[in-house]
Amino acid sequence: MEYDRLAKILIIGDYDSKGCNLQYHLAHSRYYVSGIGIDFVIRTIQTDEEKVKFQIWDASSYSRFRTIHPPLYRGTSVLLVAYNPMIETTFRNIQRWLEEADIHLSSPAIRMLVEHTSSHDRPREVPIGAGKEMAESLGLLYGEVDSTFERYNDDILKLLADELHFAFPLDDVQPSSRPPQPPLKTSSGDIRIKYPIVLSLLFLFFVVVFFFC
């Protein structure tokens, strides 16, 4: 197998948090100005403990279409709540996005608040340090990404890989493998095995009756 763990990262937040740029920056892919359709990018990270293949999905680019969101939460291992420090409303709405995640997430997930700078063409509206302070108050991990730089930084993905390793050990959960399906059972046993045997016995019974009666 080319990886030890398959993990889905879902980026949520306001449209102006520019999650599509964050998505492609984390994946070391080309810089996108806007999202076109719902897709994901892949980035594989090797840590001391395991090799993690991340699928990075962006839902923030479609925050205007609320009905799209619920299905996207399925199978999420890591939730990134992004805000733009240049637009204060994206920071103010963080709690609302977390509440929506609480409704739609079907299983536990690592959560991180990410300050994402996608441009420097306007003054900063969110005070420096406000994001980290909020993350600590909410019990979230915290990271900062500036996707205007061409230099990529794997620190966030390495941190997330380590958090997944300790929070969900591979001995307890195997995200990259599908659990075996149990056989269909009845009180008399596995019907996929029993039915052919019963039919064979009935056929033999009728043959004997036909020749000897």
Write out pLDDT tens, residues 62-102: 776 655 568 889 999 999 999 999 999 999 999 999 999 99
Question: Domain 5-167 adopts which CATH fold?
Answer: Rossmann fold (3.40.50)
Binning pLDDT at 50, 70 and 90, where does residue 60 land? confident
SS3 label, residue 42: strand
Query: Which range among 19-23, 174-178, 209-213 has the greatest average pLDDT?
Result: 19-23
Greater confidence, 53 or 171?
A: 53
pLDDT-based confidence at residue 33 (cuts at 50, 70, 90): very low
Q: Which residue has the higher pLDDT, 174 or 169?
A: 169
List, in order, residues 6 or more apart from 19 with CB less than 8 Å away. Answer: 11, 12, 13, 35, 58, 59, 60, 61, 80, 82, 116
pLDDT confidence tier of residue 142, bands split at 50, 70 and 90? very high
Predicted model pTM: 0.75
Q: Residue ranges of the domains in the chain?
A: 5-167, 183-213
pLDDT value, residue 34: 42
